[in-house]
Amino acid sequence: MDFEYTEEQLMIQQAARDYAQRELIKDVIERDTKAEFPTEHIKNLAELGFLGMLVDPKYDGGGMDTISYVLAMEEISKIDAAVSVIMSVQNSLVCYGIEAYGTEEQKEKYLRPLARGEKLGAYLLSEPEAGSDATKQRTTAEDKGDYYLVNGTKNWITNANSASIYLVAVQTHPEKGHRGINTLIVEKDSPGISLGPHEDKMGMRSSDTHSVMFTDVKVPKENRIGEDGFGFKFAMKTLEGGRIGIASQALGIASGAFELALKYSKERKAFGTEIFNHQAIAFKLSDMAVKIEAARFFCLKAAWLKDNGKPYGTASAMAKQYAADIAMEVTTEAVQIHGGYGYVKEYHVERLMREAKLTQIYEGTSEVQKIIISRSLLK
Amino acid sequence: MKIAICLGSVPDTTTKVKFTNNNTEFDTTGVQWVINPWDELSLTRALELKEDTSAGIEKVSVINVGERGTEPTIRKALAIGADDAIRIDAIPKDAYFIAAQIAEVIKKEGFDIVLCGIESSDYNGASVGGMLAEFLNFPSVSAVSKLEIENGKVKFNRDIDGGKEIVISQIPVVAIVQKGISKEPRIPSMRGIMMARKKPLNVVPAIETDALTEFVSFEMPTSKGKCKLVDSENVKELVELLHNEAKVI
């Protein structure tokens, strides 16, 4: 067992840290307040290669391993989880999905611009009545010979407005239940697609989340990913990897809040000494540090399994559930350590606490992770 | 034209400084090493010049004096965009030793512009650049805050007391650069990190040279005493403390 990072992994971690601490920090509060999409940052991160970092260089990606991805996600999320969720959806859902299961033509046409970060992608799975139970897809795709006719509504779609390439889960054979689900690559500017209003979210406010409506949208047959009926398996497989991204995001939110709380505790004085010298605060920080370290091990273990071609579904569910839950706990304590200052925007921790909450909800709630983990115990 | 960047590997600025061996050596345990900030800015400027095709720069190389442990720092420079690197395999002893080693490589490889950071952020010797120019018998320009190439010559801005001095030099030249030479260091891209794997990092043996100086000992600054607060009403106590305890009046 080797706990050393490679030189390249450290270089990527440092590059992500430098970008976050130098650039993202400058306008993160303003963007969060105004719910403004980080257009310029996404362009810069694309140039640095963070939007297609896991994709094989032969498709213009960075060719980096999942460990590097965890490290980069943690660093970006310490400062701005709205940016890191864009990065996570792009890398672990959209790019991975097409690279792992797409045809050569699909990779040439869609994966290349995604890997270069010239185009953003979105994964449209959730529906108004199909969240945790993804088998209940109501968006239909009627087989019309050489194309599908898509109708329905998707909800809570990250990158809905900024993306130009959608991966859409659709029901093609309602009688087959979840075995009738497919995934289609849909270009956002196809006629018949419209967006609901920008969701006014509690956290991660500068990522663009909308519902997306499909009305008689024609999608060429060659845009289906995998065999007919592969859509549900596709969802489960891509989400396994997506969970490593969100787990690392939760880890970053927690460690970002921890770093701020630790710094504050060494500066702020109460009862004649720095508050770190009060056991009530020192023990909080100690508990936070332990939880963060454990979450980091979970994330890296799942990443290591993926990099080594071993099954990682349960490990990524454990990482996601644990990291999300401790992100909520750690950020809440970070606000507590900051006292009144923690409750105002200037000190960042209140935003991190709002961001942490979403990690327990999206890409599988903490409860869904427990379903996955407990089912694996039965096997 | 070919540019050489003299690249130092220094402890990250957040390092907690400790000494060993009877306070004669810096304790490197747990230290994270980074490119000396002034050298990183020099590298950025060199790359900007290379990208501007009118400047006529064919190659940007980095030269480091250090043991194998400095290679991650060197490779970062390659990831940022340097074309190749030379590591002179030696423990850097003092400025004279370093300058002599680098001079030897520059004589062999033939560079037109040699950029040295004004100092290293660890030992702050601020001596290598000048010594290097002497060894090479090149002109040197210090405190350079702007560097441009015009008609095959190098134009420098130097910060001087109360203003700026514009200097034009023939090549080859040694420039000792400071803040302002470029805005901020570049962040390596994934592509750069990947390409760094394949770029040449040549290791050459050091030449026989004695250091002229040695470290006798390092001392940490004495910690400040505790601050005593005296109520503004209590002038008598303040005077007594200043007289008897602080002994300043």
Both A365 and A259 in a single domain?
Answer: yes
Residue A213 pLDDT grade (very low, low, confident, very high; cuts 50, 70, 90)? very high
- Calpha distance A62→A111 (Å, rounded): 13
For residue A311, whether the previous peptide bond is cis, meaning omega lies within 30 degrees of 0, is no
Tell me what the mean pLDDT of segment A41-60 comes to. Answer: 97
A8, A65, A266, best to mutate vs chain B, most B CBs in 10 Å: A8
| Domain end (from A115, A135, A159) | A115
CA distance B197 to A339: 48
More confidently predicted of B221 and A322: A322
AA identity, residue B130: G
Q: What's A130's DSSP letter?
A: B
Q: Is the pLDDT of residue A365 over 90?
A: yes
pLDDT score, position B131: 96
Q: What is the rounded distance in angstroms from the CA atom of residue A28 to the CA atom of residue A51?
A: 19
User: What does the alpha-carbon distance between residue A163 and residue A102 come to, in Å, rounded to a whole number?
Assistant: 18
Select which of A23, A74, A99, A363 is catalytic: A363
Beta bridge partner(s), residue B62: B5, B85
Contact A117/B at CB under 8 A? no
Structural domain includes residue B75 = yes
Question: CA A344: distance to chain centroid?
Answer: 26
Residue at B84 is within a domain: yes
Question: What's the DSSP call for residue B183?
Answer: S
Say if residue A155's pLDDT is above 80: yes
Bridge partner residues of A182 (DSSP): A170
Is the distance from CB of A326 to CB of A254 less than 8 angstroms?
yes
The distance of B79 to chain A (nearest Cα, Å) reads: 9
Mean pLDDT of chain A: 96
Q: Within a domain: residue B141?
A: yes
Residue A69 with chain B: CB contacts under 8 Å? none
- Spell out where chain B has E strands: 2-6, 9-11, 19-20, 25-26, 33-35, 59-66, 84-89, 113-117, 140-150, 153-160, 163-169, 173-177, 201-205
The partner residue sitting opposite A11, judged by closest CB among B76, B184, B191, is B76
Distance CA A269, CA A326 (A): 27
Q: Are strands A121-124 and A165-171 parallel, antiparallel or unpaired?
A: parallel
DSSP per position, B44-97: HHHHHHHHSGGG---EEEEEEEE-GGGHHHHHHHHHHT-SEEEEEES---SHHH
Structure confidence at residue A90 (pLDDT): 97
pLDDT at B245: 86
Domain membership flag for residue B87: yes
- The answer, for A57 touching chain B at a CB cutoff of 8 Å, is yes
pLDDT at B224 over 80: no
Q: Are A319 and A242 in contact (CB under 8 A)?
A: no
Q: Rounded CA gap, A229 and B46, in Å?
A: 55
A266 touches chain B (CB under 8 A): no
User: Does A262 reside within a domain?
Assistant: yes
Interchain proximity A63–B194, CB inside 8 Å? yes
pLDDT digit string, tens, across residues B165-198: 999 999 999 999 998 999 889 999 999 999 998 9
Q: Are residues A280 and A227 in the same domain?
A: no
What pLDDT is stored for residue A374 in this prediction? 97
Structural domain total, chain B: 1
What's the rounded Cα separation, in Å, for the pair B3 and B84?
11
For residue A69, how far is the Cα from the chain centroid? 11
CATH number, position A79: 1.10.540.10
CB spacing of B194 vs A48 below 8 angstroms? no
Of A231, A247, A267, the last residue of a domain is A231
Distance of CA A206 to the CA centre of its chain: 14
Q: Which two tokens stand for residue B20?
A: 């060993």
Residue A370, domain member (yes or no): yes
Type of residue found at B187: I
Give the residue from chain A lying closest to B70, CA to CA: A7
In this structure, what token pair is assigned to residue A159? Answer: 């990158």
- Beta strands B84-89 and B201-205, pairing class: parallel
Residue with tokens 């490589």: B105
Token pair listed for A162: 């900024």
- Integer-rounded Cα Rg, in Å, for chain A is 21
Amino acid of residue A353: M
**A249 and A302: one domain?**
yes
Q: Which of A11, A47, A61 sits opposite B193 (nearest CB)?
A: A11
- Domain closes at, from A115, A141, A174: A115
Determine the Cα–Cα distance for residues A186 and A168; give it in Å rounded to an integer: 7
Query: Tens digit of pLDDT for each residue in B21-63?
Result: 988 888 989 899 999 999 999 999 999 999 998 889 999 999 9
Is A248 found in the same domain as A198?
no
Q: How does pLDDT run across A309-346, given as a tens digit for each residue?
A: 999 999 999 999 999 999 999 999 999 999 999 999 99
Partners of residue A4 on adjacent β-strands:
none
Pick from A4, A7, A17 the residue to mutate for testing the B interface (most B CBs within 10 Å).
A7
pLDDT bucket at A253, cuts 50 / 70 / 90: very high
Residue at A279 is within a domain: yes
Q: Note whether A15 contacts B187, CB cutoff 8 Å.
A: yes
Same domain, A304 and A367: yes
Mean pLDDT of A94-108: 98
Nearest to A7 among B72, B191, B194 (CB): B72
Residue A25 sits at the chain B interface (C-beta within 8 Å)? no
The residues with which B116 forms a beta bridge, in sequence order, are B6, B176
Backbone φ and ψ of A264, nearest 5°: -60, -40
B190: chain A residues, CB-CB within 8 Å: 12, 48-50, 53, 61-64
pTM: 0.91
Same domain, A368 and A262: yes
> The CATH number of the domain where A296 resides is what?
1.20.140.10
Residue A184 forms beta bridges with which residues?
A: A168, A224
Q: What pLDDT shows up at residue B226? A: 75
Task: Concatenate the DSSP letters of all residues of A253-298 into one string.
Answer: HHHHHHHHHHHHHHH-EETTEEGGGSHHHHHHHHHHHHHHHHHHHH
Contact state of A63 with B190 under an 8 Å Cβ cutoff? yes
Summarised one tens digit per residue, pLDDT across range B120-165 is 888 888 899 999 999 999 999 999 999 999 988 999 999 888 999 9
Longest dimension (CA), chain A: 78
Residue A1 lies in a domain: no
Q: How far apart are CA A134 and CA A127, in angstroms?
A: 8
* Nearest beta carbon to residue B188 from set A15, A53, A64: A15
Q: Residue A2 falls within a domain, yes or no?
A: no
Based on the fold, state whether residues A132 and A167 are members of the same structural domain: yes
Contact B190 A64 (CB under 8 A): yes
Is the pLDDT score of B243 beyond 80?
yes
Tell whether the model's pLDDT for residue A151 goes beyond 90: yes
Question: How many separate domains does chain A show?
Answer: 3
Domain extent, residue A306, equals 233-378
Judged by a CB distance cut-off of 8 A, whether residue B191 touches chain A is yes
* Residues in chain B, overall count: 249
The reply to whether A243 and A372 lie within a common domain is yes
In a domain, B234, yes or no: no
With bands split at pLDDT 50, 70 and 90, how would you rate the model's confidence at A135? Answer: confident
Domain range for residue B37?
A: 2-222
Q: What is the pLDDT of residue A2?
A: 87
Q: Which residues pair with A209 in a beta bridge?
A: A158
Q: Is residue A241 located within the same domain as residue A369?
A: yes
Q: Tell whether A313 and A364 lie within a shared domain.
A: yes
Predicted confidence at residue B248, as pLDDT, reads: 87
A371 to A303, A314, A320: CA distances (angstroms)? 21, 10, 13
Q: With a threshold of 0.85, tell me whether the complex ipTM lies above it.
A: yes
Establish if A312 belongs to a structural domain. yes
Q: Give the C-alpha separation, A312 to A318, whole Å.
A: 10
**Residues A363, A275: contact at Cβ < 8 Å?**
no
CATH of the domain at B81: 3.40.50.620
Q: What is the dihedral of CA A78, A84, A85, A87, to 10 degrees?
A: -160
Closest chain B C-alpha to A12 CA, distance in angstroms: 7
Across the strands, what pairs with A195?
A: A212
Average pLDDT over residues A154-169: 97
Query: Least CA distance to B69: which residue of chain A?
Result: A7
Domain assignment present for B14: yes
A363 is catalytic: yes
Indicate whether B16 pLDDT > 90. Answer: no
Q: Same domain, yes or no, for A159 and A105?
A: no
| B contact test, residue of A9, A48, A266, A274 with most B CBs within 10 A | A48
Q: Residue B194 has what pLDDT?
A: 92
Q: What is the pLDDT of residue B123?
A: 84
Whether residues A305 and A324 share a domain: the answer is: yes
- Candidates B210, B246, B215; CA nearest to B228 is B246
The answer to whether the beta carbons of residues B13 and B153 sit under 8 Å apart is: no
